[in-house]
């Protein structure tokens, strides 16, 4: 922890309790070709139309962006059948998750997240002076009953990643409805649906209907995953009018930049590209799950664009050993000890080349020298 003298400027005390978020690694020394499978980025990249719009935006760098993100919200609204007035865009969905905490938590208020939930939530909660409260999971899946057990008078927010990162598990929409129905009216449910595009299950819904029919539910989405635009930082939220109004008051007036607005709108209008990304993911996720299982590894069933791979509890065969072995061969996966998985790695679904190399390399690793 940072040492401070008595007379220096001091932040809110809860900020000193934040464990900084550690992004997925992106470099390895020595490897010829590197496959970054550590941050759930799209192996197909963005829509060609989005790249074109990005290039064209170079002609408009002198002007401030449209602070209302009118065209981007229109593209999102059209695609999802929403009222654009209920959409707020952000510099990544991280920004929106953080602004929700800033707006709705007063010092000492509680916000719930689940045991293996996304690590941005406790950062956002503490930065706002709030107290993170952890609800246990069952079978590496969020549990509505466990969340409800943690609700108190002071609970203002519940952050739920659905599907969750890094487990890839999800709650069916009926469970989300049950959760909303049982929450106090003053507690807001934040459904972080960063991976919604990838989910193909009949009992899954990202949460649009639930937002429309309640006053205390918001859904956040991102262009960083299936749309392949993580580098541009674009997220959006669908919220009741009273919540959209609050977030619009406190966000930066130009929080989404010119290039992001243009590329995001073009990406949203290219449904065929998104479809290709989702199909690629579905095919290779199932192939990888099968191949890794054949190698004797346990893989948590995932509906998203990554797999949580559990390693044997044997000397030389643990996740840390596998990580080192993979890295020297140019394969970067994500250590997830911070998420409560000291003996697992999270792998993003990659290109065919990366996926095949990963399986071959892990086979060699497990066979030993
Ligand atoms: C990747 C991810 C996000 C997206 O964050 P951005 O700021 O939009 O890039 C949000 N939530 C979860 C659970 C994620 O894994």
Rounded Cα gap, residues 55 and 57, in angstroms: 5
Are residues 127 and 143 both part of a single domain? yes
98 confidence band (pLDDT: 50, 70, 90): very high
Res 140 pLDDT > 90: yes
H or E segment at 213? helix 208-213
Is 2 part of any domain?
no
From 270, 305, 334, the end of a domain falls on 270
Same domain, residue pair 107 and 234: yes
- Taking only the tens place, the pLDDT of each residue in 318-369 is 999 999 999 999 999 999 999 999 999 999 999 999 999 999 999 999 998 7
Statement: residue 5 has pLDDT above 90: no
Task: Give percent of the chain above pLDDT 70.
Answer: 98
CA of 343 to the centre of ligand 1 (A): 23
| Average pLDDT in the chain | 96
Same domain membership, residue 165 and residue 23: no
pLDDT at 339: 95
> Could you tell me if 143 and 183 lie in one domain?
yes
For residue 169, count other CB atoms closer than 10 A to its CB: 22
Q: Is the CB of 92 under 6 A from ligand 1?
A: yes
**Closest residue to atom 10 of ligand 1, CA basis:** 194
> 349 with 43: CB under 8 angstroms?
yes
Q: Is 192 in the pocket of ligand 1 (CB under 6 A)?
A: yes
Domains of the chain: total: 2
Encoded tokens for 99: 């602004």
Tell me, yes or no, whether 210 and 70 share the same domain. yes
Last residue of a domain, one of 217, 240, 270: 270
Helix (H, G, I), strand (E, B) or coil at 291: helix
Whether residues 219 and 254 share a domain: the answer is yes
| Domain co-membership, 124 together with 225 | yes
Residue 146 falls inside a structural domain? yes
CA distance 121 to 123: 5
The CATH number assigned to the domain holding 198 equals: 3.40.640.10
- For residue 63, CA distances in Å to 66, 72, 256, 258 come to 9, 17, 13, 8
**Ligand 1, residues 95, 101, 118: which to mutate, most atoms within 8 A of Cβ?**
118
Q: Which ligand 1 atom is nearest residue 95's CA?
A: 7
Question: Can you give the residue range of the structural domain that contains 332?
Answer: 14-45+272-367
Contact 202, 19 (CB under 8 A): no
Among 270, 290, 305, residue at a domain's last position: 270
In whole angstroms, what is the distance from residue 161 CA to residue 163 CA?
6
Whole-model pTM: value is 0.96
Q: Are residues 266 and 276 in the same domain?
A: no
CATH of the domain at 322: 3.90.1150.10
């Amino acid at each position: 922890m940072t040492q401070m003298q008595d007379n220096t400027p001091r932040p809110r005390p809860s900020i000193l309790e934040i464990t900084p978020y550690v992004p997925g690694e992106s470099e390895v020394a020595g490897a010829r070709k590197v496959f970054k499978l550590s941050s759930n980025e799209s192996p197909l990249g963005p829509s060609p139309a989005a790249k074109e719009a990005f290039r064209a935006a170079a002609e408009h760098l002198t002007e401030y962006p449209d602070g209302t993100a009118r065209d981007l919200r229109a593209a999102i609204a059209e695609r999802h059948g929403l009222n654009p007035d209920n959409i707020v865009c952000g510099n990544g969905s991280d920004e929106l998750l953080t602004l929700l905490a800033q707006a709705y938590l007063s010092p000492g208020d509680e916000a719930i997240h689940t045991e293996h939930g996304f690590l941005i939530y406790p950062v956002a909660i503490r930065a706002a002076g709030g107290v993170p409260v952890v609800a246990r999971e069952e079978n590496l899946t969020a549990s509505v009953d466990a969340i409800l057990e943690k609700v108190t008078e002071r609970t203002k927010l519940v952050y739920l990643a659905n599907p969750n990162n890094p487990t890839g598990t999800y709650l069916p929409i009926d469970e989300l409805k049950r959760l909303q129905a049982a929450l106090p009216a003053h507690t807001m449910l934040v459904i972080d649906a960063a991976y919604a595009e990838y989910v193909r299950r009949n009992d899954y819904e990202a949460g649009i209907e639930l937002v429309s029919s309640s006053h205390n539910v918001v859904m956040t989405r991102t262009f960083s995953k299936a749309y392949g635009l993580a580098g541009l930082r674009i997220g959006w939220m669908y919220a009741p009018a009273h919540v959209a109004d609050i977030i619009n008051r406190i966000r930066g007036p130009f929080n989404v930049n010119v290039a992001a607005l243009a590329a995001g709108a073009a990406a949203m209008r290219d449904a065929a590209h998104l479809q290709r990304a989702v199909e690629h993911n579905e095919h290779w996720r199932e192939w990888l799950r099968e191949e890794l299982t054949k190698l004797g590894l346990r893989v948590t069933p995932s509906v998203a664009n990554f797999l949580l791979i559990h390693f044997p509890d044997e000397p030389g065969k643990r996740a840390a050993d596998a990580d080192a072995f993979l890295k020297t061969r140019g394969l970067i996966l994500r250590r997830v000890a911070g998420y409560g998985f000291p003996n697992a790695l999270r792998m993003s679904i990659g290109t065919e080349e990366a996926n095949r190399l990963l399986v071959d390399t892990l086979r060699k690793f497990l066979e030993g020298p």
